[in-house]
């Protein structure tokens, strides 16, 4: 009999599932999109049932496309974006829409935590700062603003927890999702910090029991089997956070591995065993080897989002040309940018078009173009967008190094922005390190399938992924170009400090605050 594995990843825009063979080949995949609800400025919601419906439907379709016997599927694992606040009652029904990682409604609660306890105390055991991004702030907002829902709450869950619950009937979580709850979680103890929860006024019994990410926590129920096409009794693992699952798929399972997922947002992950955590970065338990490994994350809000914005708003000519030639419009824009010198002839972009996460945690920050002149062309602007996003990632890279990190090189680049040869070389030159590109990176769903294989014994360990990693391109840094970039990087850093006070003034002027 054959051994197959299912991995599902729930993203902000949609959910993807794969059926993978034990040799690491994706035999079938499916993807379903869903919208974002923004009922008021700073709020971002989704219906939890969207996550379950997309999970169930993509699993069923992936199995159909793979044309495999569901009885030979040995395990399932689900990852998702996080943190997110989903409240369920004792009948395991959602009490309200989920408010997701980008939601900022908990600003007052975050300020109260900082004023009451201070950042040092709040992060002492959690290893994370205080911000509306984190789960504890979201949960505290519910208690303060919707006390009737808080009282009815049986468990606080994340999207992967919710999908896993619908598969198994068990409302539990995993180490990785729990670790970005913030104050109230003990990072090195891998448990809820009951003393801190008492200080916050949050009820421990409303938080789910947690398990290692690869551990089997239940089986597919008959109802879930009918809905998904899986067989009842198929083992289901605890799951994890999306970026960590992607790092597993990219081979990021060793102490010192470092990778950047250059998607809509930029997510840089440094994998490590030693509990040394980056200050004002996101610190999280790794979905791979979750009993012993951590990931320090530098997470920017806008990375590939900048080039997509440029294409959509200013790239009509490139779109038309690309359609006529049958090529990607980004290739044309990259060709224009390649003709522009390092530093874009003095044009510097602060890439905070939707605020910023690490290391500033400033939702009011906005994009800035500095140094614009009549000599600058569309190619200059496009390259400056790329360089601005890379300056922000480099700033996070330096913060990671400050935590005594000893990265393994090359740094692995994956996803949207990494498709650009120009952008990959800019990363190598600016960071002054070698980088490698995985053209055929299969992302988080495959990472989840690998975790399911480890958890169910199909694989002896995560080391199986080492034989599947294939770098399609490598880039070496140019020391002279690096020196040139450092001149502009210093200005980039000073610019933020100079205009930071005006971001708040602008927010008030526009009615955002």
Question: What residues pair up with 5 in beta bridges, in sequence order?
Answer: 20, 75
Residue found under tokens 């300056």: 391
pLDDT band at 170 (very low <50, low <70, confident <90, very high): very high
What is the spatial distance between Cα 268 and Cα 410, in angstroms, rounded to a whole number?
Answer: 13
Ranges in the chain annotated CATH 3.30.420.40: 4-250+439-468, 304-437+478-509
For the chain, give the number of residues. Answer: 513
Instruction: Calculate mean pLDDT across residues 492-506.
Output: 96
What distances in angstroms separate CA 52 from CA 20, 77, 322, one per listed residue? 21, 13, 37
Q: Are 54 and 37 in contact (CB under 8 A)?
A: no
Q: Would you give the distance in Å from CA 394 to the centre of its chain?
A: 17
What is the spatial distance between Cα 245 and Cα 444, in angstroms, rounded to a whole number?
Answer: 5
SS3 label, residue 99 = strand
CA 100, 104, 109, 115 torsion: positive or negative? positive
Q: For domain 304-437+478-509, say whether CATH 3.30.420.40 is its number.
A: yes
User: pLDDT (tens digit, 9 = 90+) per residue, 371-410?
Assistant: 999 999 999 999 999 999 999 999 999 999 999 899 999 9
pTM of full prediction above 0.75:
yes
What is the spatial distance between Cα 338 and Cα 386, in angstroms, rounded to a whole number?
Answer: 11
pLDDT band at 207 (very low <50, low <70, confident <90, very high): very high
Burial label, 508 (beta-carbon count in 10 A; 0-12, 13-18, 19+): exposed
Buried b (16+ CB within 10 A) or exposed e, 11-48: bbeebbbbbbeeebebebbbbbebeeeeeeebebbbeb
User: pLDDT (tens digit, 9 = 90+) per residue, 42-73?
Assistant: 899 999 999 999 999 999 999 999 999 999 99
Q: For domain 4-250+439-468, say whether CATH 3.30.420.40 is its number.
A: yes
| pLDDT value for 513 | 74
What is the spatial distance between Cα 357 and Cα 139, in angstroms, rounded to a whole number?
Answer: 20
Tokens of residue 504, six digits: 């708040």
Instruction: Calculate mean pLDDT across residues 329-350.
Output: 96
What is the spatial distance between Cα 339 and Cα 325, in angstroms, rounded to a whole number?
Answer: 20
Residue 466 reports pLDDT greater than 80: yes
Residue found under tokens 């290391």: 359
């Amino acid at each position: 009999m054959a051994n197959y594995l299912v991995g599902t990843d729930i993203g902000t825009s949609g959910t993807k599932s794969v059926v993978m063979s034990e040799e690491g080949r994706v035999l079938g995949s499916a993807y379903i999109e869903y919208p974002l609800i923004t009922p008021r400025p700073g709020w971002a919601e989704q219906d939890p049932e969207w996550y379950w419906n997309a999970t169930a439907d993509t699993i069923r379709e992936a199995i159909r496309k793979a044309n495999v016997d569901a009885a030979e599927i040995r395990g399932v694992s689900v990852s998702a974006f996080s943190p997110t606040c989903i409240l369920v009652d004792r009948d395991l029904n959602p009490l309200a829409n989920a408010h997701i990682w980008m939601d900022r409604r908990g600003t007052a609660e975050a300020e109260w935590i900082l004023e009451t306890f201070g950042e040092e105390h709040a992060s002492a055991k959690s290893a994370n700062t205080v911000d509306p991004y984190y789960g504890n702030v979201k949960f505290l907002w519910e208690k303060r603003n919707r006390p009737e829902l808080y009282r009815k709450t049986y468990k606080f869950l994340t999207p992967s927890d919710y999908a896993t619950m619908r598969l198994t009937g068990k409302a539990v979580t995993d180490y990785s999702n729990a670790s970005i709850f913030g104050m109230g979680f003990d990072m090195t103890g891998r448990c809820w910090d009951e003393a801190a929860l008492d200080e916050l006024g949050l009820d421990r019994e409303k938080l789910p029991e947690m398990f290692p990410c690869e551990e089997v926590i239940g089986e597919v129920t008959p109802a879930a089997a009918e809905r998904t096409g899986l067989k009842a009794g198929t083992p289901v693992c605890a799951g994890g956070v999306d970026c960590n699952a992607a790092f597993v798929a990219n081979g990021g399972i060793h102490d010192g591995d470092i990778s950047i997922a250059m998607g809509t947002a930029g997510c840089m992950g440094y994998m490590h065993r030693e509990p040394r955590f980056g200050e004002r970065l996101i610190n999280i338990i790794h979905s791979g080897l979750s009993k012993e490994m951590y990931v320090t994350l530098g997470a920017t809000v806008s990375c590939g989002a900048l080039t997509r914005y440029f294409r959509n708003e200013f790239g009509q000519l490139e779109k038309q040309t690309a359609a006529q030639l049958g090529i990607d419009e980004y290739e044309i824009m990259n060709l224009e940018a390649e003709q522009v010198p390092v530093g874009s002839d003095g044009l510097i972009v602060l890439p905070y078009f939707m605020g910023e996460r690490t290391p500033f945690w400033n939702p009011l920050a906005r994009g800035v173009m500095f140094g614009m002149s009549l000599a600058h062309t569309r190619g200059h602007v496009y390259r400056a967008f790329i360089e601005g996003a890379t300056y922000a990632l480099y700033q996070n890279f330096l913060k990671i190094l400050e935590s005594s990190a000893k990265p393994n090189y090359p740094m692995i680049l994956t996803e949207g922005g990494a498709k650009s040869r120009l952008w990959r070389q800019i990363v190598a030159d600016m960071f002054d390190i070698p980088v490698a590109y995985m053209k055929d990176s299969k992302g988080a769903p495959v990472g989840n399938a690998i975790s399911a294989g480890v958890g169910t014994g199909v694989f002896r360990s995560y080391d199986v992924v080492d034989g599947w990693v294939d770098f399609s391109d490598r880039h070496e840094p140019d020391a002279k170009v690096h020196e040139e970039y450092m001149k502009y990087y210093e200005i980039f850093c000073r610019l933020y400090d100079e205009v930071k006070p005006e971001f708040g003034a602008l927010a008030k002027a526009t009615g955002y605050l």
